[in-house]
Structures are given as structure tokens and as C-alpha cells.
Chains A and B, each alone.
Chain A
Amino acid sequence: MPDTRAPLDPLVVPASPPRELAARVRAAVAQTHAPRSTLRERLALAVLGVPIAVVFGLLGSRVVFRGRPLFRVDIGLLPELDLAERLFILLLIAGVATGVALAPGRRGFGSKVTLLVTTAVVVAPFYTLLINVFPLGTAMGAAAARELHPLGLPCALVAFSVGILALAAFGLALRRAVPVAPVSRAAALGAAAGAWAGVALFLQCPANDALHLLVGHSLPVAAFALAGAVALPRLLRP
């Protein structure tokens, strides 16, 4: 329906809003509930939600796929230093992505857009590079992996459950708190959630097969950045 109201006359623009408008605003504000929890409290809850999401995803997969071990079967056989180093890098990627995506920023508008977009774009390639080009495994793990789905669909489901919980926690933390660049922020939040899903998969799945890793591990991690960019902006806008 076309807007038939009169165009603005620049010669009669008043210096301040009309009194009746002020009254309308006051009445609307008085009738509208505003949440009391501060951004800092919400962010703390979101960060707390990440380990819960990982544990829930791992435990949930054990229930859904009966017999699936909670942690990778060769976790005790892997060289301790290699395991610690790999886990540290994965945690660093996930932590940095989460920090960039959640940070309130100096001006209160979050991290800079270029940083958000970079985060959204680089997390999945970094993860893929790490697990595909420098795989970590043992003969026992490879034998166990042969029993797994060749495309790693159960792994994708684990990644989905961990990622969706993390994404929900991040989204609720920043609900109505992102007036600027909500799509970039949402994509970065999605990438961070995907990175945490990647950590969970590393802890649980011993597979080293390239196809399995690409479809079951990397693809879900990459998909979360896209899912965040599509699903979250409406929740994030004030």
C-alpha cells in the first residue's frame, strides 16, 4: 500500500519532537517490558553454555548411537604432547572466534566488521587444514573408524547438536544487542559455534579418512557460519 502522507517540508521541520509524540513514546515505553539482565551477565552465561553444549552433544550421541564411546577410543594411545598441542590449537581457534564474536567492543558495537567477517570466513578452512593435512591417529583408531559411517553422518549429527546449543547460547546472550552489522556478527557467532562443534568431534571421533573428515567434520563446521548469518540477525537486532 503506497504511503500517501505528505512529503516532508524542510522549511517546517521542528527543532524537537512534538509533545504528542513524546507522550506516545512515554506511554509505549511504560507498557513495554525491558529485560534487566546486563550484557555482561548474559555473556558470562553464554560462555558457561559452551562446555555444557559440548558435554551434552557427546553424551547425547552416546544415547542416540548406542555403543558410541564418549571419547575417541585411541585417546589414551595418542602421544600426549601431540594430543595436547592439537587440542590447544582447536581450543584456541574456538576461543578466539568466540571472543571476537561476543566482545562488546570499545564503542559498544562489538568487534570491527572486518574482524567479524574474517573470523566467519577463516574458522572452517583452519579447522579443515588442521584435521585433514595434519591428521592425528593410531592404528587402533583407524581400525575403529572403519566401523563408522563412511561419510561420517553420525559425526555431523553430533556437530549439529553441539553447534546448535552453542549458537543458541550466543544468540540469547546478544539478543536485541546488535544494532550494527548484525549479519557479520551472526556469521562470526555461527563460526564460533561451529568451532566448538569441531572440538567435540576431535574429542570423540578417531577417523582419519579424508571423505569422512570433510563431510562429517569440516562441512558442519563451515555450515554453522552460514546458518548463523541466515538465522540469527533477526534475533540480534534491537
Chain B
Amino acid sequence: MPAGDEKKSGLAQAGPNGRTGTAFAFARNARAFAAALDASWGIDFNPSGAIDRMDADHVMRRYASGEAAAFDELYAALSPRLYSFCVRLAGRTGDAEDLFQEAFLKLHRSRATYVSGASVLHWAFAIVRSTHLDQLRRRGRRPEKLVASTDEVFEASSACVGSPESDLHAQTLARIVEQELQGMSEKNRSAYILLKIEGLTAAEAAAVLGTTGDAVKQRAFRAYEALREALSRAGWGQVTRA
């Protein structure tokens, strides 16, 4: 990881004791943790700046009014955030790509129903989540537990204890968190992703999920506690407390 990226992700503070620093950052500030996670994945985490909201909304207005040429601009503006959202929701690369494609198609079919002045990114998030729920309904199952066993996760994290590479610690952390996210309920996962990773406010996330702000906070908190517990099981919490 380049030095600049380390600084941006908050991993630079970890140094040779990266595991402790990153875990502590997670416990203290989930947003900083999300940034570290995204940096370890190569995703540029920047909720406010990744898409200039006004630009994207303007492009969407043009597209909604029938200007087909605006699609490429809209795709360029939305696809990075939407794709990473799809990946986090679906958990499998193939499923995420199916979800992404179907959601974009639905966005295209529903473009005339976009309400001018609303955030196109939040609207697109809502379409992705609705599509994801449709897919789960079609398959007639809850999200599969795609993760390795806790023991495997623990072994994976234990293997990194002696490594001085902070990015390796961050990657291990990312793996544990991702596996835990995929194992939890869809409601808790989507609330956590929108609130803690995508950087939406409770009111915005509540609007996207069709529930109340309090319910969103509660779901995200449950997810957060599950992640903390998973990290603790894998030995991160003990190091932090020490």
C-alpha cells in the first residue's frame, strides 16, 4: 500500500503494531474502519466526494427526461459506489454482477419515475436493495452463509500475528468483517453498510430501507456488535484491551 493510501485509510498510525491500532480504530470509529477496509480492497472510500451529488442528480434528470446519451455519464458516476454496494450485499462475485446488471436495468426502466431533487445515489441504492430482495425471494432462501468456519477465520488471523505489515493486518481484518457481514441477517447487514460504510445519515438510510431512523440505528448497532464479537473471537479484541 502506498504511503498516501495508508494515511488516507488511517492505517499509518498502526505501524508495526498495526493490528492493535486498526482494531482500536474499529472499536472507536466505524467510519474510519470502513475507510481502512475499503483501502485494503482498493476501493476509494469517499462518501461525499466519490460522486458529486449535484452533478449526478443533474445527469439523472437529463436521463429521466429521455436523453439516452446521458447514460454513460450516469454509469460513470454511479457504478463504483453501486458495484461495491452490490458486492457487499450479495457476497459472491457472480451474484454481485447479476445484481448490478439487473439493478441498472431496473434503474433504466424506472428512469421516468425519478423524482427531481431527490438524491440519485440513494434512489439507486434503494433499487439495488429491492432487486437483491427480489433475487432472494426468487431463490426462496435467506442469504447463504458463505463464510469459512470461525476456526478457519481464527487461524487466518492468527497466521498474521507475527507479520509487521499493517496492510496485511488490515486485509485479515477485512476478511473477518466480510465473512461476518455475509453471515448476518440482510436487514442488519444493509443497515450497517449504508450507515457505517456508505456514510449515509440515519434518516437517509431509513428512507432507503423503508423504515425508521431508530430501527436503522438499532440494526446497525446489532451488526456492529456482531462484528466486534467476531473480531474478539479472532483475537483482535484481546489485543486491543491489552
Contact = CB atoms under 8 A, between A and B. Distances in A.
A and B from one assembly?
yes
Interface of A: 3, 5-8, 10-11, 13-18, 21-22, 24-26, 28-29, 32-39, 42, 104-109, 112-114, 174, 176-177, 179-182, 184, 237-238
Contacts, number: 161
Contacts of B209: 180
10 shortest A-B CB distances, which residue pairs?
A: A108-B118, A181-B210, A108-B115, A177-B113, A179-B126, A180-B210, A10-B178, A5-B94, A238-B106, A7-B146
A158 B109 CA distance: 35
Contacts of B114: 39, 108
Interface in B48-107: 64-66, 71, 75, 79-80, 83-84, 87, 90-97, 100-101, 104-107
Contacts of A18: 97
Given A29-B108, A107-B122, A108-B114, A184 B210 contact: yes
B100 A17 contact: yes
Contact of B175 (A10, A104, A107): A10
Contact of B112 (A5, A36, A107, A184): A36
A87 B178 CA distance: 58
B99 to A, nearest CB: 11
B134 to A, nearest CB: 7
Given A5-B95, A181-B210, A13 B43 contact: yes
Nearest to B101: A25
Interface in B160-178: 171, 174-175, 177-178
B103 to A, nearest CB: 8
Contacts of A6: 92-94
Contacts of B177: 10
Interface string B32-54: 00000000111110000000000
Contacts of A35: 109, 112
Nearest to A10: B178
Report whether over half of chain A's contact residues are helix, strand or loop; otherwise say mixed: loop
18 contacts: A10-B174, A10-B179, A14-B83, A17-B97, A21-B100, A29-B105, A29-B108, A32-B109, A38-B65, A39-B112, A105-B115, A108-B115, A108-B118, A113-B212, A181-B210, A184-B210, A237-B134, A238-B107
Nearest to A116: B210
A179 B212 contact: no
Contacts of A174: 113
Nearest to B215: A113
B229 interface: no
A166 B112 CA distance: 22
A25 B100 contact: yes
B234 interface: no
Interface in B113-135: 113-115, 117-119, 122-123, 126-127, 129-131, 134
Contacts of A39: 112-115
B223 to A, nearest CB: 16
B126 A180 contact: yes
B158 interface: no
Nearest to B80: A16
